[in-house]
Amino acid sequence: MSVEGPLLEIVGYGAVCPAGCSAAALWQEPVPAPTFETLLSQPHRQIPVRRIDLQQEALARWQKEPRLRRANPLAMFITEAAVQALMSAPELARDRVGLVCALSTGSIIYSRKFFTQMQTRGRRLASPILFPETVYNSPVSHLASVLNITRASYTLMGDESAWVDALRVAQVWLARRTVDAVLVVGGEELDILALEAFDLAGWIRRGLVAAEGAGAIVVRAAARQTSESCVVKVSPTSIPFRSPGEQKAAWRSFYQRSTSDHPLVLTKSVAPSTSWRQFVKSTHAVELESDWGFAFTASASWSFLQAMHRRKTNPSFTLLVPGSNAAVSAVSFI
């Protein structure tokens, strides 16, 4: 996907992360120790994870919302992060705000439950209540309804680079004046099925700690940059890859494009981590401080928010969004 769009000004942000329900937790709170869960296929093995406590007050309130009463945790994560982001920009007219969400595994918990019922009970007895929640766009439709967003709404699927693609969609809508601002959301829910996949991919033994949560920002076309604003330039292209070698070459390509005016800043949450550590050592690039765990577009949004906070006290730089299985991209904080 290649798009030349306007610079984006961040006017609101929010997050649900392992340390709490706020974006500030990403730079104010210590990373909590992981808990351990047993793999279905290997009951003798336990692997580290960082889950979100659904009993937190900020999330428990959404379980009482009629639209979300039967929704999966992912819908609650993205709703809480989105509400935080919109509250940061109360001056925006809600009927002129668009919504784009980047997901990876999507509603995996209900998908597993539904297909398990099909296998154990038969197709006729699988719960019809679960099926609508297995659709990738289901959490976003809940979010749009709860927030009464009636303009453009879209869901993207991919790895971490889908977060950057979502920013490009926002650029297109803003350039066409479809909306005045765009709510960009990334989220992930953790299920034992995903942990099995991470283990089969070899990511667990290479040090990956799986996580869940969400991040959200509200952006609009940047009119002019001030000391108070945070403005980003989205890379017009992502580099797709189909092998570990191509992935490393894509990382290197973005590193070679960086300059002294826009040095590269790297995230710590990457899969596979072994190759990434080798790349970090060879480039001597600066890393973000905290590793909150691997959560596809959710961890990409957390890294973005950490970078936004870093920009307040540092000169311009480019954040590399490494991608785990599809593409590599970048966003410059100017």
Mean pLDDT, to the nearest integer, of 203-223? Answer: 94
Q: Which residues of 99-114 are buried (b: 16+ CB within 10 A; e: fewer)?
A: bbbbbbbbbbbbbbbb
* Rounded percentage of the chain residues whose pLDDT exceeds 90: 75
Confidence class for position 89, pLDDT limits 50, 70, 90? confident
Q: What is the mean pLDDT of the chain?
A: 91
Each residue's pLDDT tens digit, 4-32? 678 999 999 999 999 999 999 999 999 99
Domain residue extents for the chain: 8-221, 230-333
Q: What number of CA atoms fall less than 13 Å from residue 3's CA on the CB side?
A: 22
Confidence class for position 115, pLDDT limits 50, 70, 90? low
Q: What angle is formed at CA 71 by the lines to CA 65 and CA 75, rounded to 5 degrees?
A: 85
Say how many Å lie between the first and final Cα of the chain, rounded: 22
Q: Which residues of 170-205 are buried (b: 16+ CB within 10 A; e: fewer)?
A: bbbbbeeeebbbbbbbbbbbbbbbbbbebbeeebbe
Each residue's pLDDT tens digit, 217-249? 999 999 866 667 899 999 999 999 999 999 999
CATH number of 8-221: 3.40.47.10
**pTM of the full structure:** 0.93
Mean pLDDT, to the nearest integer, of 112-126? Answer: 67
Token pair of 311 as six digits: 């920009």
- Of all helices (H) and strands (E), which one includes residue 177? none
CA dist 292 and 155 (Å) reads: 24
C-alpha to C-alpha distances, 242 to 203, 255, 270, 327, nearest whole angstrom: 17, 19, 17, 9
